[in-house]
Structure 1
Amino acid sequence: MTVRPEGTPRALVVDDDELLRRAVADALRRGGIQVVGTASDGREGIELAVHYRPDVLVVDLMMPGIDGVGVTEAVAARAPEVRILLLTGAAPNDAVKRALWLGASGFLNKTSLPRLAEVVHQLAQGMSIVEPTMIEQLLAEFRRMPDDGSGVRPVDSALTSREWQVLDALVAGRDTTAIADGLDISVGTVRNHLKRAYRKLGVHSREEAIAEVRRMRGFERTP
């Protein structure tokens, strides 16, 4: 058994490219990070992340099968304490925005691997990191979002991604039947999601839920 040095962050690496996976793991070790394991695909990465509960999960955004977005969604739901850093070789796109919404804590361009260990240390300390070259593009996208803040997921929220999707539809004025049709789920499933969401939000009605969602997103403030 490997004994973890006090204060040493633990990381897990997920990448389908063997050479890049080794390069990432080596860069982390050189930077004082304990690599608890590596995975060659998203499915294995999810299982290892849930098993090992690393401080930081380093995962390639674009992979066949379950990609970085899918890994983020699954790990955020099953091991929410794990911080997730996605590696990408492209400019911000819908995948990046969705991963952020699902709970990713940071993005780093693959050309910035020399900074990788430093970024993982920062994430392990609770910081969120986005590649500087991505910030302006992400801000531009954010400014084009609807006025009600639909799609924004507060970082510390206990709600699941599906619960947020249902609440987004609720805020948009849809009834349970329309929500079910839009998400391709049953009306009963929608009601179950709403029941759990109401309990987590501490509210008891549609109106209270909408007001609380808007407050959490910064669009309404409590007196």
Structure 2
Amino acid sequence: MSEPTVLLADDHGAIRVGLRIMLEAQGITVVGEAADGDVAVRNAAALRPDVVLMDLRMPGRDGISATAEIVKRGLGDVLVLTSFDEDELVWGAIRAGAVGFLLKTADAPTLVRAVRSVAAGEGALDPRVTRRALAAVSEALTAPMQSLDEHPQLTIREQQVLDGILQGSSNAQLAMDLRISVPTVKTHVSNVLAKLGARSRSHAAALVRSRAD
């Protein structure tokens, strides 16, 4: 079986150089690179790599959005390689269709094995995030559907944030309860307010309660 071809998507040039050296030393061909999500999608369409090694946090279009389009269009299998192991990123990558998730602290043999596994039609998940990924999937499968029906425009995570707003939880408390970062909570709060047409947390709570009456 021939070695897989890989597209590197990471906004740090030095990281791309290091990844290329590690992979090519093991006979894996790096067919292209990308410094943001838009370029990753275009290059995946042009080069059709077996595996796209995808960073999640990049300027412009992020890795999760790029992953979703690459998977939807069948341009290659996506193996996420990121510095962050926040639950929201893990779940976002899985939901977008990534078939592997590694942290950048993974050593060269682990990375090479993961690339070959993904190219062979298997998955690859860093042991440090396996429990959290399974918990995220379980949470999605068991989440009550009633509240989502009440606010169908909200994602599952946004509904959880809205529930916390209704309970008076602070951003810090929501971050702790949902096992995500405070900046991620703030992003979700902003999305919730925008989707509900609310000016503030208190306005959002008032709107929801008035609609329930």
State the TM-score, normalizing by the size of structure 1: 0.62
Identify if the C-alpha distance between structure 1 residues 77 and 30 changes in structure 2 by more than 3 Å, giving closer, same or farther: same
Which residue pairs with 2:53 in the alignment? Answer: 58
Which of the numbers 15, 20, 23 marks the counterpart of 2:15? 20
Report the equivalent of 2:102. Answer: 108
* SS of the residue 1:145 aligns to: helix
The letter of the residue matching 1:111 is T
Alpha-carbon distance between aligned partners in 1 of 2:111 and 2:34, rounded to the nearest angstrom: 18
2:39 to 37, 44, 65: 44
2 CA distance for matches of 1:102 and 1:41? 17
Measured after TM superposition, the shift of residue 18 of structure 1 is: 0.6
Query: Once the two structures are superposed, what CA deviation does each residue of 1:150-177 show, in whole Å capped at 9, x if it has no partner?
Result: 8xxxxxxxxxxxxxxxxxx9xx657xxx
User: Could you tell me which residue of structure 2 aligns to residue 33 of structure 1?
Assistant: 28
Question: Could you say which residue in structure 1 is the equivalent of 2:84?
Answer: 90
> Identity of aligned pairs, percent?
31
| Distance in 2 of aligned mates of 1:24 and 1:144 | 34
Gaps of 5+ in 2: 156-213
**1:120 and 1:135 mapped to 2: Cα distance?**
17
1:141 aligns with 2:136: yes
Deviations along 1:173-199, one digit per CA (max 9) or x if unpaired, are 57xxx75x669xxxxxxxxxxxxxxxx
Gap runs ≥5 in structure 1: 1-5, 151-168, 184-223
* Count of residues paired in the alignment: 154
CA-to-aligned-CA distance 1:38-75 (integer Å, 9 cap, x gap): 11221111100011110000011111111110110111
Counterpart for residue 6 of structure 2? 11
Name the SS for the 1:119 alignment partner.
helix
Aligned residue in 2 for 1:215: none
Distance 2:75 2:32 in 1: 18
**How far apart are residue 81 of structure 1 and its match?**
5.2
Q: Give the Cα–Cα distance (whole angstroms) in 2 for the partners of residues 68 and 113 of structure 1.
A: 21
TM-score normalised per structure 2? 0.65
Q: Which runs of 4+ in 1 moved over 3 A?
A: none
Specify the SS of the correspondent of 2:3: coil
Structure 1 pair 81–66 and aligned structure 2 pair: CA distance change class (3 A): closer
